[in-house]
Amino acid sequence: MAHLDRIRAGQLLAAAGLDAMVLLSPESFRYATGAAPGVGTMWRRAGAVAVLVPADPAVPEVAVVSDLFAAAFHATSHITDIRLSPLWVESVTLEGDTAAQTLAGRALNRPETFNAGLCWQHLAAALADMGLTGGVIGVEMQAISAADWPTLATALAPAQLIDASEVVARCKMVKSPAEIVHLRTAVELAELGIAAVRDAIHPGMTRDDLAAVWAAEVTARRGKAVLTSHWEYISVGPDPWGGNAAARLGDIVKVDVGCVIAGYTSDTGRTFSVGGAPAQAREVHHALMQGFRAGRALLGPGVPLSQVHYAAQSAIRSAGLPGYSRGHFGHGLGAGLGSEEWPFISATTDVLAERGMVLAFECPFYATGLGGFIIEDQILITETGAETMNRLTVELV
């Protein structure tokens, strides 16, 4: 299923003065088409696939598709105008008794991997078909290398090419109902794993033991969900940066984890203590809680994310950590390469929270000699406020 909202995309493109945009990353290809990008994108070099999205929502998109995946693309995508680009793989549908008969008379020379130049030619032809040969075209520049850029610029001339990476990010920032379902499923599964880790903690349990508990639980409890993968940053004891420490009474256990459902990652963090936490640890967690409550109370549609950052940081400083400074207190969630997706809840962002955004809101602290701390929830911005997708308490347990 494609998740690109053409109406919203058209508004963003028009505001940026763009006639169309070219999507190049495999994640954006799937986002706009609903189809898998295929093996040609494994090197993360631009030109294996592409999607041309006109600013006018009434004008259909054009997709450049690897020939090996053309049939699958037709079966899964709404886009009907596709331009084929061959991969290195030889694949045929038998038309006679033997493969040799089918291949007889063919004159196709397959590339070593894929032919980016042919992809650019397809895009140039599609722009000509749309009457946009001399238009202002946005390009997902963060998905193309400096080495590949000159050939694209030459192929699309005389079009004026502008970086549209932020437009792409703003499109993805607001989730479709289906994307929200993936993220909700992911965080619900992640919390089952966190609960299992919490219940397993006891003196002598190592960091790797707890990581194994996490992995086993989310794998066993995934049900019918498409669990793409899972990840964890679990730390035990005074060193929050690694090592396979065994838990001792009074140690802090930080659990920062996520499940990836159909490519969409959750992100949740909780802090536990092995037995009673020392006074200093309780004081740190208390300060983080004040920041978390202050920032969480502000989250809602129309609220500047920079204001949330200011509130959280100010509250933490006032509650006992006067020198506390953090670059961001959370981030968007989606199907990007890592667990953190733009926008960030930072002091410098100009983004206002919008209905349909899913954010990870977090207040972490890492103190070598004491341990790692984190309070993190997954938040859905609604029409009237914000919904916490988590159920587990954020208190120090």
What are 280-312's pLDDT values in tens digits? Answer: 999 999 999 999 999 999 999 999 999 999 999
| Average pLDDT of every residue of the chain | 95
**Per-residue pLDDT reduced to its tens digit, 321-332:** 999 999 999 999
Range scoring the smallest mean pLDDT among 58-62, 66-70, 106-110:
106-110
Distance of CA 182 to the CA centre of its chain: 12
- 378 in Cβ contact with 390 (< 8 Å): yes
Whether 370 and 284 have beta carbons less than 8 Å apart is answered as: yes
Q: Which CATH number fits domain 177-388: 3.30.420.40, 3.30.460.10, 2.60.40.1760, 3.90.230.10?
A: 3.90.230.10
CB 264 within 8 A of CB 334: yes
Pairwise CA distance, residues 51 & 22, whole Å: 6
Taking residue 298's Cβ as centre, other Cβ atoms within 10 Å add up to 18
Task: Reply yes or no: is the peptide bond before residue 158 cis, omega within 30 of 0.
Answer: yes
Position 34 scores a pLDDT of: 97
Which amino acid would we find at residue 266? S
pLDDT > 70? residue 272: yes
Domain chopping of the chain, boundaries = 6-172, 177-388
pLDDT band at 100 (very low <50, low <70, confident <90, very high): low
Which 8-state DSSP code applies to residue 50? E
**Architecture of domain 6-172 in this structure:** 3-Layer(aba) Sandwich (3.40)
Q: What percent of the chain clears pLDDT 90, i.e. is strictly above it? A: 92
What is the average pLDDT across 355-372?
98
The closest alpha carbon to 378, from 174, 175, 187, 177, belongs to 187
For the stretch 113-167, pLDDT in tens is 999 999 999 999 999 999 999 999 999 999 999 999 999 999 999 999 999 999 9
Domains 6-172 and 177-388 share a fold: no
Residues 380-396 have pLDDT tens digits of: 999 999 999 999 999 99
Q: Could you tell me which residues are beta bridge partners of residue 230?
A: 259
